[in-house]
């Protein structure tokens, strides 16, 4: 049985649930949210959806005990309304999401859960680090979507710019899933050709292109008030990599032993979680950006240090 729990049924959690059900990825789905009416409504809507599907997903609601034998629990709780003031800062959610982590972690672990904990909640790297400390789960069993979505956006932007297939573009956005993330241009190739060589021929403005990639989320939020489909697709990509024991490298928020925190970096993923961090040869400038990102994450972690278990 492929069993998944989702904590938080807002726009993102609901999009993840819908994708898992319509793709037939989960045999059992446990839905948990503070709002009882929302959970019931999502359950009924997803059950209606299955009337037109060839697959079946058994849906359970509001029962932490059911997480005891879940393969994966996805943390998708948050409060997107924090961005209603127009300020583009994922760290603004930290006060709310850290409280959610503190409230849900004991309930998850009290069930006997020993699967993989996947964090979507922002600020992703800070909350993922906090969740691992609070739950005590092995570091390889706790990780976040990190810069996977940012990498997806980068590939889309480059595909549009160059008029090529997404499949021809390889490479990563790394660091914090936030304003200090960066495009690691040295890792990117287009049909095996280095991106610098390709863009030089077109006289492309690297700085402007990277800014467009980094701010894409805020374009979406300013239009519809939230993002949901992209991050849901990123989360489901990770789930599928786990269930299929894919041994695929994805830029997720995984444990970095040097900086002692979670950060977006290329990571090999399999059935048991993160298998290892994949080393990439960054330029000196890119390494400085990575270290800066880690410092920024640490600064936000320091604001929570009084609450961390000793």
Whether the link from the prior residue into 288 is cis, omega within 30° of 0, is no
Following DSSP, what letter does each residue of 104-172 receive, concatenated? HHHHHHHTT--SEEEE-PSSHHHHHHHHHHHH---GGGEEE-TTHHHHHHHHHHHHHHHT--GGGEEEE
Element (H, E) at 186: strand 182-190
Distance between CA atoms of residues 263 and 153, nearest Å: 18
Decide: helix, strand or coil at residue 180: coil
Using DSSP, state whether 10 is helix, strand or coil. Answer: coil
Q: What is the separation, in whole angstroms, between the first and last Cα of the chain?
A: 36
Question: For residue 212, how many other CB atoms are within 10 A of its CB?
Answer: 16
What value does the CA radius of gyration of the chain take, rounded to a whole number of Å?
A: 19
SS3 content of the chain, % helix, strand, coil (to 5): 50, 20, 30
**CB neighbour burial string for 81-117, b if at least 16 within 10 angstroms, e if fewer:** ebbeeeeeebbbbbebbbebbeebbeebbebebebbb
**CA triplet 168, 174, 179: central angle to 5 degrees?**
120
Give catalytic residues, as residue numbers.
Answer: 177
């Amino acid at each position: 049985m492929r069993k998944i729990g989702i904590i938080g049924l807002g726009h993102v959690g609901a999009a993840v649930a819908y994708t898992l059900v319509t793709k037939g990825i989960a045999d059992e789905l446990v839905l948990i949210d503070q709002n009882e009416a929302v959970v019931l409504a999502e359950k009924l809507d997803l059950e209606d959806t299955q009337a037109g599907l060839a697959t079946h997903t058994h849906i359970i609601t509001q029962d932490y005990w059911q997480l005891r034998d879940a393969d994966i629990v996805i943390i998708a709780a948050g409060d997107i309304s924090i961005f209603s003031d127009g300020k583009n800062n994922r760290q603004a959610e930290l006060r709310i999401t850290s409280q959610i982590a503190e409230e849900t972690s004991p309930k998850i672990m009290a069930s006997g859960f020993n699967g993989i904990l996947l964090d979507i909640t922002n600020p992703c790297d800070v909350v993922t680090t906090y969740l691992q400390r609070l739950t005590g789960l092995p570091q390889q069993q706790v990780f976040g979507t990190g810069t996977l979505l940012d990498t997806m956006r980068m590939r889309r932007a480059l595909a549009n710019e160059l008029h090529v297939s997404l499949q021809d573009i390889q490479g990563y956005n790394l660091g914090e899933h936030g304003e200090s993330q960066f495009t690691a241009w040295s890792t990117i190739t287009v049909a095996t050709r280095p991106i610098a060589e390709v863009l030089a021929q077109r006289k492309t403005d690297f700085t402007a292109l990277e800014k467009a990639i980094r701010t894409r989320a805020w374009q979406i939020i300013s239009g519809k008030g939230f993002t949901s489909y992209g991050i849901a697709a990123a989360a489901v990509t990770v789930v599928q990599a786990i269930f299929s024991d894919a041994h695929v490298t994805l830029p997720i928020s995984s444990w970095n032993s040097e900086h002692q925190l979670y950060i977006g970096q290329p990571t090999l993923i399999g059935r048991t979680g993160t298998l290892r961090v994949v080393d990439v040869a960054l330029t000196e400038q890119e390494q400085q950006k990575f270290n800066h990102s880690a410092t920024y994450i640490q600064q936000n972690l320091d604001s929570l240090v009084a609450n961390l278990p000793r």
